[in-house]
Chain A
Amino acid sequence: MAEDLINSFLSGPDENGRFGKFGGRFVSETLMPLILDLEAEFEKAKTDQSFWDEMDYLWKHYVGRPSPLYFAERLTERLGGARVYFKRDELNHTGAHKINNVLGQIILARRMGKSRIIAETGAGQHGVATATVCAKFGLKCIVYMGAHDVRRQAPNVFRMRLLGAEVIPVTSGRGTLKDAMNDALRDWVTNVRDTFYCIGTVAGPHPYPAMVRDFQSIIGKEAKQQMAEAEGRLPDTVIAAIGGGSNAMGLFYPFLDDKSVRVIGVEAGGKGVDDRMEHCASLTGGRPGVLHGNRTYLLQDDDGQILEGFSISAGLDYPGIGPEHSWLHETGRAEYVSITDVEALEAFQLCCETEGIIPALEPSHALAHVMKIAPCLPADHIICMNMCGRGDKDVQTVAKHLGFDMSDTEGRDAG
């Protein structure tokens, strides 16, 4: 399916939850009736003005939307090419884009009469957002988090507990995000009546990829309007980091039918995308398979066993990617590249120094690619990058990698 044969990139998924051959509903029979219920409820909500009124109110007064579109002037000067804008979703309540989606799902859960919310989390940002919204509405919240991530994202674990959530460290498999998702699904199969599974990215069985995209699309809708106000036109390039792909889908979606806009997704290249497989670049280093309810590009071995990803960023450490990205990749509508840990760390520091913004490690990957392309582009080229999270949660990780000893009160460099 070539790009020019497709009339619109906004029409997916089809009634079977497919984007081309990707997506679908690969779940056990026990869960099938539950996801059909959810789909029906979401379809109702989509055209229900009172649903969107509630969302808009909370987006504005609870999350702090719209997030600003910010011209990164010193960074632009430093790179000496394209004009770089940040869509500042790191300023949202809880510090990332994750809450955009959580609000939508929790309002749906309330409409469905579900009292118990479960979620998986990697970096902890989705877990924190879910715990936050559950606290606000007085709902019971259980967050599954890989034991390995519990250790590297300790501040977020404490945050979730403060917010009243129960954090369950997952030791099955190797204790990372994919295992957390497995255990959340196992919980859901067991607690089918009262439980709502709030998935944190554009993955999982239909309708999750479409639903999460629709909730996150507020990012791109705002950016489009704000860019028109700032520059009087569309951006030339939109760019975002990809773990499961929700912040990227949220930014990209409203631009997909604007053919002049170049769309770039940045995957986590870890130690480099090669056959050592120490990365999380599902599109650039994986092949199609079926996991967690959908068909998509996956990191897997020759026998179809799923491989663990590797990235400095816990939020990108997922061996799959949302099925809509796989489709955008195969149709050629979007390009996907990868950035290594080392490149992301450089971008992280440059952003701090030139813009006074401490970015999360996830958008630092997107920024690293901006650093690569901006210098080669003309001064009238406009790049819009999703600054999807703030870096408070990552300060310890970065300190460790830069050899800075946080326990040394003199603040000397270690070693």
Chain B
Amino acid sequence: MTRIDAKFAALNAAGKKAFLAYVMAGDPDYATSMEIVKGLPGAGVDIIELGIPFTDPMADGPTIQLAGQRALAAGQTLQKTLDMATEFRKHDNGTPIVMMGYYNPIYSRGVDKFVTDAKAAGIDGLIIVDLPPEEDEELCIPAQRAGLNFIRLATPTTDDARLPKVLTNTSGFVYYVSITGITGAADAEAGDVGPEVARIKAAIDLPVVVGFGIKTPERSETIARVADGAVVGSAIVARIGAGDSVTDVLEFVKSLADGAHRA
């Protein structure tokens, strides 16, 4: 059982929904980012999504683009992002960490080396935006072989004919992208999301979390009610970008987590 499986099993037993928080590794700098990440479990975060900075984040809106640029300008590298996980694991061996980003930095490091290093650093899963099932041989298969979960995104354009293909080789959980669009864009409507989550759950026995467009505790709650969990990224990253203190950022995260946990 991976940390991700264990986390969902525990939440399930407690009758609770999951709250997942995305932050960009190294934003605005290594030390501040490390402090925020260490504080996330205490703020109620069940699973951490750690963004890998990339110069060309094609699926991200301005908020996360700028976060990546801040991190890169401050000297963040893939190695340092792995180092953050290693450091985190010294204090917390239960909270799952999922790395989220784009393929090129991983490909550049070398896939075999990366999956070995990620596993050793205590990473539990990967969400790689530009690797659809058509490219599973690249990283998905090697990652699963190394014991990492490979979490797939399902979207409103993933129709019934395509869904099985998307769910094959998926593990850990499924991430439903609630809008057609980039991160930080329009609000997700719980009314549209519920049936989509049900459609995915009918096709696979894995938790389904929903993200993109969730910005407030209220939304976090209504979305979590119709899914197994809610993910918030841009709204948190925007606070970091605005220069909020670590305490303020974590307080905001707590309000979002409380929302999801009320569901």
Contact = CB atoms under 8 A, between A and B. Distances in A.
B95 to A, nearest CB: 26
B108 A27 contact: no
Contacts of A20: none
A289 B56 contact: no
Contacts, number: 117
Dominant secondary structure at the B interface: loop
25 contacts: A25-B132, A26-B130, A27-B130, A28-B130, A29-B132, A30-B157, A30-B180, A32-B134, A32-B157, A172-B65, A178-B56, A186-B59, A186-B60, A189-B58, A189-B59, A190-B185, A191-B180, A290-B102, A292-B56, A292-B58, A295-B107, A302-B108, A303-B78, A303-B109, A304-B109
Interface in A165-189: 172-173, 178-179, 182, 185-186, 189
Contacts of B105: 303-305
A15 to B, nearest CB: 10
Contact of A28 (B54, B58, B107): B58
A36 to B, nearest CB: 8
B56 A33 contact: no
B135 A26 contact: yes
Closest 8 CB pairs of A and B: A304-B108, A304-B105, A190-B181, A30-B155, A26-B130, A304-B104, A32-B132, A306-B55
B162 interface: yes
A407 interface: no
A304 B59 contact: no
B62 interface: yes
Interface of A: 16, 24-34, 172-173, 178-179, 182, 185-186, 189-192, 289-293, 295, 298, 300, 302-306
Given A28-B58, A291-B56, A190 B157 contact: no
Contacts of A173: 55-56, 65, 69
Contacts of B62: 172
Instruction: Give the interface SS of chain A, mostly helix, strand, loop or mixed.
Output: mixed
A303 B77 contact: yes
Nearest to A17: B134
Contacts of A182: 56-58
A304 B134 contact: no
Interface in B52-73: 53-62, 65, 69, 72
